[in-house]
């Protein structure tokens, strides 16, 4: 039987691999998607670091025998906001680069396939 930890680790690995693959592309849109996938992988990793506990209160209570650590949840919420701002900035930067150069490549060189 597959454990929950293995599924979470596999999801983190797939998101990281897809993010790295897309960041290494020549076009700007796949690079933006790759950065988003990398931020999703980091969010899942941070959330999993706080132990996966089900049906426990997020605050310490003397009556409860255990509790869920609220720090990873706060870190993930902060990371989501930062990733949203970063993604918006990168999209505007890519759009500005396209309007200035007329090319949708990361390096700004003309597309060799367009000449043919």
Chain centroid offset of residue 60 CA: 30
Using CA atoms, how far apart are residues 30 and 26, in angstroms rounded to an integer? 8
Structure-block tokens of residue 96: 């500005």
Domain ranges of the chain: 10-105
Tell me how many degrees the CA angle 8-50-75 measures, rounded to the nearest 5.
100
What average pLDDT is seen over the chain? 84
Structure tokens at 6: 């293995």
31-70: pLDDT as tens digits = 999 999 999 999 999 888 877 666 766 666 666 667 677 7
User: Residue 103 pLDDT more than 80?
Assistant: yes
Radius of gyration of the chain (CA): 20
Does the global pTM surpass 0.85? Answer: no
DSSP state at residue 27: B
The more confidently predicted of residues 88 and 102 is 88
pLDDT number for residue 109: 78
Does the pLDDT value for residue 14 go beyond 90?
yes
């Amino acid at each position: 039987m597959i454990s929950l930890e293995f599924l979470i680790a596999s999801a983190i690995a797939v998101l990281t691999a897809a993010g790295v693959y897309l960041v290494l592309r020549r076009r700007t849109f796949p690079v933006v998607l790759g950065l988003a996938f990398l931020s999703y992988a980091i969010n899942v990793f941070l959330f999993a670091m706080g132990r996966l506990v089900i049906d426990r209160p997020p605050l310490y209570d003397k009556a409860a025998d255990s509790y869920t650590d609220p720090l990873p949840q706060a870190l993930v919420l902060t990371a989501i906001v930062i990733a949203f701002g970063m993604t918006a900035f990168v999209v505007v930067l890519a759009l500005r680069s396209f309007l200035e150069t007329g090319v949708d490549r990361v390096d700004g060189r003309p597309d060799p396939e367009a000449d043919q």
